[in-house]
Amino acid sequence: MGTLFNLMHYCPQNKQLFEFSFLVSGLRKVYPYYFTFTTFTKGRWVGEKILDVFAREFRAHPAEEYERCIQAGTLTVNYKKVATDYKLKHNDLLANIVHRHEVPVTSQPVTIIHMDEDIVVVNKPASIPVSVLYVNLFLIERIHY
């Protein structure tokens, strides 16, 4: 009923489709890519320094890494470079550009076992994420109707 399709991505800059995954030894891999995480300033952050907020709220990296990103301009406010002591304001848009390397997943097909107006039942390999933690290889991207 359902089949795995070639993972394609539309690049608006050059108006072309390109394949962003490839197969190697039974694994589907994604070419490394840049991704921009965005969020608006939360009320509790207003008036605080951007570096303090990132060091406290986003603990994936040490404060020194966020300081480096702010200074390099990959962590911005309203898409503009700011100082590490910038104080956040209401409705500031925070953007953090990261270079992603996704974990490979199996290239085994995802098949639809049952589908009706209320439910879709699939047989998926365990290595394929269901959620969008990894943007390009999650389950919904792999099912084609």
- Same domain for 63 and 45, yes or no, is yes
Give how many domains the chain has, as a whole number: 2
- Same domain for 93 and 51, yes or no, is yes
- Same domain for 62 and 47, yes or no, is yes
- Mean pLDDT value of segment 125-132: 71
What are the pLDDT digits (tens) for 65-79?
999 999 999 999 999
**Whether residue 23 has pLDDT greater than 60:** yes
| Sheet (strand 105-106) strand order | 21-24, 27-30, 105-106
**Whether residue 13 has pLDDT greater than 70:** no
Establish if 3 belongs to a structural domain. Answer: no
Give the residue numbers spanning the domain of 127: 8-32+108-142
**Tokens 């959620």 sit on residue:** 131
pTM: 0.65
What are the pLDDT digits (tens) for 134-145?
444 445 555 543
Establish if 2 belongs to a structural domain. Answer: no
